[in-house]
């Protein structure tokens, strides 16, 4: 259920973004938008990869803590 609600929320955000972009840019400076947009997409993608590393590190730490707790307990 939570996944579904998140899905609906994210889809709504995506649609609002698209509608805003449509309203603002009938015949916009699209070359410039491409340059800026591509840079943004690449950076957010790279950040997503780095974020996964952090999540994995966090999970490994929690796992190590749990194992240490089990040994001492």
Partner 1 sequence: MHDITVVDLSRWQFALTALYHFLFVPLTLGLSFMLAAMETVYVTTGKQIYKDIVQFWGKLFLINFALGVATGLTMEFEFGTNWSFYSSFVGDIFGAPLAIEGLMAFFLEATFIGMMAFGWERMRRGQHLAVTYMVAFGSNLSALWILIANSFMQTPQGAHFNPVTMRMELGSLSQLIFSHDAQAKFVHTSIAGYVTGAIFVAGISAWYMLRNRHMELAKRSFRMAVLFGVLSTAGVITLGDALGFVGGQAQPTKLAAMEGLWKSEAAPMPFNLVAFPSQQDQVNHGQLQVPYALSLLVTHSLDGTVPGVDQLEQQAAARIRNGIPAVEALQTLSSKPGDADALAQFHAHEKDLGYGFLVQRYAQDVSKATDAQIGTAARDTIPQVAPIFWSFRAMVAMGLAMLAYFVLAVIFSLRNRIERQRWFLKLAVWMIPVPFLACETGWLVAELGRQPWTVYELLPTWMSASTHSVGYMIFSLVGFVGLYTVFIIAEMYLMVRAIRQGPQPHDDDAGWDGDPVLGNSASGGRLAGQAEG
Tell me which residues touch partner 1 (CB under 8 A): 3, 6-7, 10-11, 14, 17-18, 21-23, 25-31, 33-34, 37-38, 40-46, 48-53, 55-57, 59-61, 64
Q: Work out how close the CB of 21 gets to partner 1 at its nearest, in angstroms, rounded to a whole number.
A: 4
Q: Which is nearer to partner 1, 23 or 73 (CB)?
A: 23
Burial 24-52 (b: 16+ CB within 10 A, else e): eeeeeeeeeeeeeeeeeeeeeeeeeeeee
Q: Which is nearer to partner 1, 50 or 73 (CB)?
A: 50
């Amino acid at each position: 259920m939570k996944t579904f609600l998140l899905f609906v929320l994210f889809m709504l955000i995506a649609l609002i973004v698209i509608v805003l972009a449509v309203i603002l840019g009938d015949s916009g400076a699209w070359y410039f938008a491409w340059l800026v947009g591509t840079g943004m997409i690449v950076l957010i993608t790279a950040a997503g990869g780095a974020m996964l590393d952090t999540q994995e590190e966090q999970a490994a730490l929690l796992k190590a803590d749990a194992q240490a707790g089990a040994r001492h307990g």
